[in-house]
Amino acid sequence: MSDSQTLSDTCPLIESTQELTTFCEKIANAEYIAIDTEFVRDKTYFSKLCLIQIASPSDIACIDPFKVDDLSALKVVFANTTQTKIFHAARQDLEILYSDFGLMPAPMFDTQIAATLLGLGEQIGYGNMVKHYLDINLAKQHARTDWELRPLSAEQLEYAANDVRYLIQMYPLVLQDLQKYGRQSWLENDFAQLLDPGLYQVNNDQLWQKVSGNQKLRRKQLAVLQQLCIWREEVAIKKNKPRKWILSDNIALSIAMAMPTSKPKLANIRGINKATVDKDADTIIRCVKTALDKPEEQWPIPHKKRKLDKNKEATVDALLAISKLKANEHNISVGAIVNRNELEKLILDEPDLAILSGWRFNLVGETLVQFLKNNLVLSYSNNELRIIKNES
């Protein structure tokens, strides 16, 4: 930053529409801005936005959405396609911005994802990244703040502001390192996936897949679980309450196993509380009957993991060794590139694998494909494992 663009040591709290409009006009022409949010979700279905922190190279502010009547000036900022929006671990921030503003803040850059390409490890925390690049130790005493409570103290605001104060300072340094290794363009696919609205939209018909233990159920029982999850989701949204407050996963699973078609049978399910039976018995039984009335071809199809034989298991071991060699070659954690589960899917020719696209393919995936085509082999000589061309 030049002397004329020094970020202020103090961070104003914006509490009016006029203050927000003025701030947004100040940062409108910045090449990039840093964004972070504070929110709560422990008692609601939807995340409740409690604070928005934004910094440009020369300006910084915390915005109180509880006090600002009209946030539309922010929507203009987020919609500016000539300005890069920088986040650290962006997914939750993007989810709440998409929910509250109805758009994705493109183009964006996630420093946590970039860190994996720079050998800083998988999912590095913001504090560790600030320490690495700026040699600053961030305070942690407000990490568990209830951001819904007002008023916010000066210490809380400083803690929140630091999430963008140093992010905006790190960004050019991260870019510089990426450019040094020729890896800047590798991230485009990852960022595009994060900006896909479909990532943040709920598919009601697939909600049953998120219930732990669903693998124990037969298809008919899965149809019941599917119907219960759809009902639970609709009620949770309507009441803005967490799903588990409407019906816990364990009870939903038990109901799906028992498939009760009467109130006494429902009441006999182990663990179900009397309040649920009294309040929701008719609706739950209707869900069960609706599911049982569906033709078999409409029942959910469980995803059953295909077992590998011993030869294929050994091949996966070889693929993992190759992946580690290539990761070490580029000083990147192998876990940031591929895991064993994905290598098993590669052996089974499953489509849409991350290792077959973007920077992961350039770095490792192409080598794995060539190995499986027998164009490359693993060789051990001079106490060293190597990947060499197959000359046979």
Cα–Cα dist 107/90, whole Å:
12
User: Residue 188: which residues within 8 A CB-CB, separation 6 or more?
Assistant: 358
Cα–Cα dist 118/219, whole Å:
45
**Which fold would CATH assign to domain 204-298?**
DNA polymerase; domain 1 (1.10.150)
Cα–Cα dist 163/157, whole Å:
10
Q: Are 90 and 115 in contact (CB under 8 A)?
A: no
Q: Which two tokens stand for residue 198?
A: 């479909």
Q: Which residue is listed with tokens 């040094």?
A: 180
Cα–Cα dist 206/229, whole Å:
9
> What percent of the chain has a predicted confidence (pLDDT) above 90?
86
- Residue 342 burial (CB count, 10 A): 19
Q: HSE of 112 in the Cβ direction (CA atoms, 13 Å)? A: 13
Give me the amino acid identity at 189.
N
Q: Are 107 and 320 in contact (CB under 8 A)?
A: no
pLDDT at 380 over 70: yes
Predicted confidence (pLDDT) per residue in 153-181, tens digit = 999 999 999 999 999 999 999 999 999 98
Cα–Cα dist 220/226, whole Å:
10
Comparing C-alpha atoms, which of 295, 304, 290 is closest to residue 216? 304
- Asked which of 3-7, 202-206, 248-252, 317-321 is least confident by mean pLDDT, the reply is 3-7
pTM flag (> 0.85): yes
Q: Which residues are bridge partners to 84 per DSSP? A: 32
Q: SS3 for 95?
A: helix
Cα–Cα dist 49/364, whole Å:
39
The pLDDT of residue 362 is: 86
Comparing C-alpha atoms, which of 59, 55, 53, 84 is closest to residue 4? 59
Q: Are 174 and 185 in contact (CB under 8 A)?
A: no
Kindly tell me the burial class for residue 37, based on how many C-beta atoms sit within 10 Å of its own C-beta (0-12, 13-18, 19 or more). Answer: buried
Specify the long-range contacts of residues 324-329, CB closer than 8 Å, at least 24 apart. 325/385, 325/386, 325/387, 326/363, 326/364, 326/367, 326/387, 327/363, 327/364
Query: Higher model confidence: residue 225 or residue 142?
Result: 225
Average pLDDT over the chain reads 94
Start-to-end CA distance of the chain, whole Å, equals 57
Give me the amino acid identity at 213.
G
pLDDT at 45 over 80: yes
Domain boundaries, the chain: 3-200, 204-298, 310-389
Cα–Cα dist 370/368, whole Å:
5
The pLDDT of residue 252 is: 97
- Asked which of 8-12, 99-103, 291-295, 341-345 is least confident by mean pLDDT, the reply is 8-12
Give 6's pLDDT tier (boundaries 50, 70, 90).
low
- Residue 295 burial (CB count, 10 A): 7
pLDDT at 1 over 70: no
Q: What are φ and ψ of residue 267, in 5° steps?
A: -65, -25
Q: What are φ and ψ of residue 55, in 5° steps?
A: -140, 140
Give 2's pLDDT tier (boundaries 50, 70, 90).
very low
Cα angle 104, 342, 201; round to 5: 25
pLDDT at 3 over 70: no
Cα angle 307, 313, 318; round to 5: 150
pLDDT at 215 over 70: yes
Q: What number does CATH give the domain 3-200?
A: 3.30.420.10
Q: Which residues are bridge partners to 388 per DSSP? A: 377
Domain 310-389 has CATH 1.10.10.60: no
Comparing C-alpha atoms, which of 266, 260, 348, 339 is closest to residue 303? 348
Cα–Cα dist 341/245, whole Å:
33
Predicted confidence (pLDDT) per residue in 180-201, tens digit = 988 888 899 899 999 999 999 9
- Averaged pLDDT, 21-25: 98
| Topology alike, domains 3-200 and 310-389 | no
Cα–Cα dist 78/187, whole Å:
20
Predicted confidence (pLDDT) per residue in 51-108, tens digit = 999 999 999 999 999 999 999 999 999 999 999 999 999 999 999 999 999 999 999 9
